A and B are shown apart, each in its own frame.
Chain A
Amino acid sequence: MLDQSMNRRRFLKGSGSTLMGTLAMTSMPIAILAPSRSWALELQQLDAHQGEVLLTLTRHIFPHPTLEDAVYALVVKDLDAAAADANVAETMRSGIAALDNRAGGDWLALDAEQQGMHVRAIAGSDLFKKVQSTAVVSLYNNEMAFRHFGYGGELGDAGYLSRGFNDLTWLPDLPASASGPVPGTNG
Chain B
Amino acid sequence: MDNYDNQTTFAHDDDSVVVIIGSGAGGGTLANELAQKGIDAVVLEAGKLHTRGEFIADEWASFGQLAWLDNRTTSGTWRVARDFPNLPSWIVKAVGGSTVHWAGASLRFQPHEFRAASEYGDIPGANLLDWPIDYDDLAPYYDRAEDKMGVTRTNGIPGLPGNNNFKVMHAGATAIGYKHCHTGNMAINSVPRDGRASCVQRGFCFQGCTTGAKWSTLYTEIPRALATGHVELRPESQVASIEHDNSGRVSAVVYFDADGREQRQRARAVAVAGNSIETPRMLLNSASSQFPDGLANSSGQVGRNYMRHMTGSVYASFDEPVHMYRGTTMAGIVQDEAHHDPSRGFAGGYEIETVSLGLPFMAAFFDPGAWGSDFTEAMDQYAHMAGMWLVGEDMPQQRNRVTLNTDVKDAYGLPVPNVHYDDHPNDVAMRQHAFQQGTAIYEAAGANKAYRTPPYPSTHNLGTCRMSAHARDGVCNGYGQTHDIDNLFISDGSQFTTSAAENPTLTIVSLAIRQADYIARQMADRAI
Contacts and interface: CB of A to CB of B under 8 A. Distances in A.
Asked if A and B are interacting partners, one says yes
Interface of A: 1, 61-64, 123, 132, 136-137, 139-141, 145-146, 149-154, 156-161, 163-168, 170-174, 177-183, 187
Interface of B: 57-60, 152, 158-164, 166-168, 170-171, 181-183, 190-191, 198-204, 210-211, 318-323, 325-327, 332, 358-360, 362-364, 371-373, 375-376, 379-380, 382-383, 445
The 4 closest A-B pairs by CB, nearest first: A159-B200, A150-B383, A180-B159, A165-B327
A168 B320 contact: yes
Contact of A62 (B200, B318, B358, B371): B371
Given A63-B373, A157-B204, A158-B200, A166 B363 contact: no
Majority SS at the chain A contact face: loop
A159 B373 CA distance: 33
Contact of A152 (B171, B326, B360, B362): B326
A165 to B, nearest CB: 4
Contacts of B199: 159, 161, 183
B412 to A, nearest CB: 26
Given A152-B326, A156-B57, A145 B359 contact: yes
Contacts, number: 159
8 contacts: A132-B371, A149-B380, A157-B202, A159-B199, A159-B211, A166-B161, A183-B161, A183-B198
B376 A63 contact: yes
Given A164-B326, A180-B190, A1 B373 contact: yes
A171 B379 contact: no
Given A1-B373, A63-B372, A160-B326, A183 B191 contact: yes
Contacts of B164: 164-168
A166 B371 contact: no
B161 A182 contact: yes
B373 A166 contact: no
A65 to B, nearest CB: 9
Given A63-B373, A171-B171, A154 B58 contact: yes
Given A168-B320, A181-B190, 14 more contacts: A63-B373, A132-B371, A140-B360, A151-B382, A159-B202, A160-B202, A165-B326, A168-B164, A168-B168, A168-B322, A171-B168, A180-B160, A181-B161, A183-B190
B445 A178 contact: no
A64 B57 contact: no
Contacts of A160: 163, 200-203, 326-327
A55 B203 CA distance: 32
Contacts of A182: 161
B113 to A, nearest CB: 25
Contacts of A150: 321, 323, 382-383
A156 B323 contact: no
A177 B179 CA distance: 12
Contacts of A177: 182
Contacts of B327: 160, 165-166
Contacts of B373: 1, 63
B161 A180 contact: yes
A4 B326 CA distance: 35
B161 A153 contact: no
Contact of B57 (A136, A157, A174): A157
Contacts of B182: 177-179
